Amino acid sequence: MRTTRIDIEGTNGTATIRRVGRCIEITGHRLVKAIETKDGRTSLVTEPFVVHADAWETFANDQAARTLQQHLDGCRGTNGDVAEYRRTIAIFED
């Protein structure tokens, strides 16, 4: 079995993690703000992001996990929050 892609969702956005050669590429969208219109509808303003990690340099992927957690959760998390994202990135490491 080979995992080629994982889609994850946080309270503030979504992301796709995939491996491209030696690079682990994380692309997604995060919520910037929600605008309420006069008729009661809500319009979401999102912003794309890209985070790169290295499949061979596993110790450097902690920063990628912290960045991903902050984008998807909308705030800086604790080590326990980041650990969940770190485990997901580790699936694509060598």
pLDDT single digits (tens) 78-90:
788 899 999 999 9
Q: Are 87 and 17 in contact (CB under 8 A)?
A: no
Confidence at 43, pLDDT banded by 50, 70, 90? confident
**Average pLDDT value for the chain:** 89
d(C-alpha 53, C-alpha 88), whole Å: 12
d(C-alpha 56, C-alpha 45), whole Å: 35
Indicate the pTM of the whole model. 0.83
Structure tokens at 46: 């999102």
Range of the domain at 52: 5-90
Strand (E) or helix (H) holding 4? none
> Does 2 have pLDDT greater than 80?
no
Q: Determine the pLDDT at residue 8.
A: 94
Any idea what DSSP says for residue 37?
-
Q: How many domains does the chain have?
A: 1
Q: Determine the pLDDT at residue 1.
A: 73
